[in-house]
Chain A
C-alpha cells in the first residue's frame, strides 16, 4: 500500500481548471518530484493534499485511509508536513520560536497549565527549546536562534521553514520550491539537507525548478502542464520525453535547461 495516494484529483477556480484528473502514488521513503512551468498547478496540488484547498474532484489517501479535505492539522497529526513556496513565517517570533511552534504536537498541554505556568508547562518549554535548537543546528541557523524572523534573510527563512516542518516528525514532507530565491551556497545546503532527510526514511514530494537536483535525487518524476499530468517516470525517462522538453522547457531558454536535463 502506498503512503500517499492521489486519485482523480481536481479543482477549479471560477471556471478555470487549475488541476485535473491527477493520479500518482508516493511510497514510504521515496522522493517524488513534481515539475512543470509556472502556473501548472503544482502549488495548488500541494494545497489540496495538505488540506488547505478542498478539491472539487478526486481523493487523497494516507496509508490507504481517505483523508480528502481533512483539516491541515489533522493531516499533520497523521504525519504529513509541508513548506510553502511563498514564505509563511511567523514573522514576529524568533527563529527558535518558529521551530518551537513546529514542535506543537509534542508539547501541547491543557490551557490552564500554561496560564498558571505549572512546572509541567516550564518543563515542556525547556524540552521543546532543546529540540528546536537541534533542528536549527541542522539547518545551520543556530546563530540566528534569537533573532526575529522578520529581520532574517530570505534564504534563512526558507531553511527555517524546513526546520519547522521537520519538527512535526513527518513521514511525508511536501517541499514547495525549497531553494527558490536562495543563493548558490544556500541552495547547496538545502540540496544536501533534502537528501539527508530522505535517507532517514521520510518520503518527500518535491516541487523544484533546479533540474540538476531533481534529476539527481528523485526516484520518480511527474511532469504537469495546465493542471494535467503530462508524463511520469524515472528521471531518465522524463528527461527523454519529448512532450516534457517541449512543454516544460518551452522554446525560450530551452537549450540551457535541456542541457541540465542531460
Chain B
C-alpha cells in the first residue's frame, strides 16, 4: 500500500508538469490552431536559464523570475519570427516549422549553456515528509501547488479579465474578433508569452527533482501532447486531468512493470486514445465540413 502511495506521489508530481505542458499547448492551440512542437523547449529553457542565472549569483527567486521572463520573450519571438510569417501555411509546414523551432532552441541551449545535466537547490530543502510509509519531497508539494496556482490564475485571467475574454473570443472566431476591434496579433503574442511562461514555470518547479539538460524538451512535449489529447485537445481542464493521468500511468508502469518502458506508457496512451476516442475525455465530437 505504501508502495502504491509512493507511485501516486511521484506520478502526481511529474503529472503536474505534463499538465502544465499540456496547458501551454492548449493556450497556443486555442489561439491559433497551431500545435506547437517546441512546447517542451520552454520547460527546458525555464530550468536551464534558472540554473545559470542562479549560478551567476542571483537569488533563486530572482533567477526563476528572470528565467520565466526570458522564456516568455522567446515565446513572443517564436510567434513573431516563425508563426506569424507562416500564416496560411499547411499543417505539414506548420509542424515542420515548430519542430524546427524546437531543434533550433535545443541547439541554441547546447551552445549558450552546455550539454551537462544540471539542478539547483530545492526551494524548501530536501528533507522528505513521511506519509503512511511513503515519502514526499517538499519540492513535490511546490510542484503540485505551483501547478494548481497556475491553473487557477489562468482560469481567473480567461474568465474575469477583459483581455482574457479577448483571447477566448479570438480563439472562437478570429475574424469576428477582429471585427469587434480586438487586436488579434497582440492576442497571438500574448498567448505565446503565456504559454512559454507556463512551460518555464514547470521547468523551474520540477528541475530540483528531475534535473534538467538541453535535450529534455522533446520527451516533455510529447507527453504534454499526450496529456492534451487524452483530455481533449483545446480543453484546459482536460489538459489538467490528462496530465495527471499520464503521470500516474507512467509512475505505476515504472513501478510495477518496467522502468525501461515507462516512457512507452505515454505513447501507448496516445495511440489508444486516438484509436478509441479521438476527441479525448472532455473534447467535443466534430464532423469535418464540406
Q: Do A and B touch each other in the complex, judged by CB within 8 A?
A: yes
Chain A residues in the interface with B (C-beta under 8 A): 13-14, 43, 47, 52-53, 84, 86, 88
The secondary structure that dominates the A interface is loop
Min distance, Cβ B223 to any Cβ of chain A, angstroms: 30
B residues 272-290 near A (Cβ < 8 Å) are: 284, 287, 290
Q: Which of B239-290 contact A (CB under 8 A)?
A: 284, 287, 290
- A84 in contact with B290 (CB, 8 Å): yes
B163 to chain A, nearest CB (A): 28
Q: How far, in Å, is B173 (CB) from chain A's closest CB?
A: 16
CB <8 Å contact, A88 and B290: yes
Interface of B is mostly: loop
Interfacial chain B residues near A52, Cβ < 8 Å: 290
Minimum C-beta distance from B88 to chain A (A): 14
Please pick, from B284, B287, B290, the residue contacting A86 in the complex, using a CB distance under 8 A.
B290
What is the interface of chain B, defined by CB distance below 8 A to chain A?
284, 287, 290
In the bound complex, residues from chain A placing their C-beta under 8 Å from that of B284 are 14
Nearest B residue to A53, CB-CB: B287
- Residue on A with the closest CB to B284? A14
Name which residue of chain A comes closest to B289, CB basis.
A86
| Complex: chain A residue closest to B287, CB-CB | A53
Across chains A and B, which 5 residue pairs bring their CB atoms closest together, nearest first? A53-B287, A84-B290, A52-B290, A47-B290, A88-B290
A13 touches B287 (CB 8 A): yes
Query: For residue B288, which residue of chain A has the nearest CB?
Result: A52
Report A-chain residues with C-beta under 8 Å of the C-beta of B290: 43, 47, 52, 84, 86, 88
Q: How far is the CA of A214 from the CA of B101 in the complex (A)?
A: 55
9 A-B residue pairings within 8 Å (CB atoms): A13-B287, A14-B284, A43-B290, A47-B290, A52-B290, A53-B287, A84-B290, A86-B290, A88-B290
In the bound complex, residues from chain A placing their C-beta under 8 Å from that of B287 are 13, 53
A14 and B284 CA atoms in complex are apart in Å by 9
Most chain B beta carbons < 10 A, residue from A13, A84, A88: A13
**What is the CA–CA distance of A88 and B288 in the complex, to the nearest angstrom?**
13
Minimum C-beta distance from B89 to chain A (A):
15
With a CB–CB cut-off of 8 A, which chain B residues contact A43? 290
**CB neighbours of A86 from chain B (8 A):** 290
In the complex, how many angstroms separate the beta carbon of B280 from the nearest chain A beta carbon? 16
Give bound CA distance, A52 to B284, whole Å.
Answer: 19
Provide the bound-state CA to CA distance between A13 and B289, in Å.
Answer: 11
Complex Cα distance, B290 from A86, in Å, reads 7
**In the bound complex, CA of A53 to CA of B287 (Å):** 8
Chain B residues with CB under 8 Å of A88's CB are 290
Residues of B within 8 A of A14 (CB): 284
Look across to chain A and name the residue whose beta carbon is closest to the beta carbon of B285: A14
Nearest-neighbour CB distance to chain B for A180, whole angstroms, equals: 15
Q: A43-B290, A88-B290 are in contact. List 5 more A-B contacts (CB 8 A).
A: A13-B287, A14-B284, A52-B290, A53-B287, A84-B290
B36 CB to closest chain A CB (Å) equals 27
Q: How far is the CA of A88 from the CA of B284 in the complex (A)?
A: 25
Chain B min CB distance to A52 (Å): 6
Measured in the bound complex, the distance between the Cα atoms of B289 and A53 in whole Å is: 9
Expressed in whole angstroms, the Cα–Cα distance for A43 and B287 within the complex equals 14
Contacts of A47 in B (CB 8 A): 290
Q: How many Å from the CB of A239 to the closest CB on chain B? A: 30
Identity of the chain B residue whose Cβ is nearest the Cβ of A86 in the assembled complex:
B290
List residues of chain B with CB within 8 A of the CB of A84: 290
A43 to B288, CA, bound (A): 13
Least Cβ–Cβ distance between A10 and chain B, in angstroms: 15
- The residue of chain B having its C-beta at the shortest distance from the C-beta of A88 within the complex is B290
Bound Cα distance A18, B287 (Å): 13
C-alpha spacing A260/B290, complex, angstroms: 29
- Assembled-state Cα–Cα distance A84/B289 (Å): 11
CA distance A34 to B257 in the complex (A): 61
Give the distance in Å from the alpha carbon of A84 to the alpha carbon of B290 in the complex: 8
Which B residue's beta carbon lies closest to that of A14? B284
Could you tell me the distance between the alpha carbons of A197 and B153 in the complex, rounded to whole angstroms? 63
Q: What are the residues of chain B within 8 A of A53 when measuring CB–CB?
A: 287
Q: Which residue of B lies closest to A54 (CB)?
A: B287
Cα-based distance from A53 to B288 in the complex (angstroms): 9
A29 to chain B, nearest CB (A): 27
Question: In the complex, what's the smallest C-beta–C-beta distance from A150 to chain B, in angstroms?
Answer: 13
CB B160 to nearest CB in A, in angstroms, measures: 26
Distance (whole angstroms) from the CB of A220 to the closest CB of chain B: 25
Question: How far apart are the CA atoms of A156 and B60 in the complex, in Å?
Answer: 66
Question: Taking CB as reference atom, which chain B residue is nearest A13?
Answer: B287
Q: How far is the CA of A84 from the CA of B287 in the complex (A)?
A: 16
CB distance from A46 to the nearest CB of B (A): 9
B92 to nearest A CB, angstroms? 13
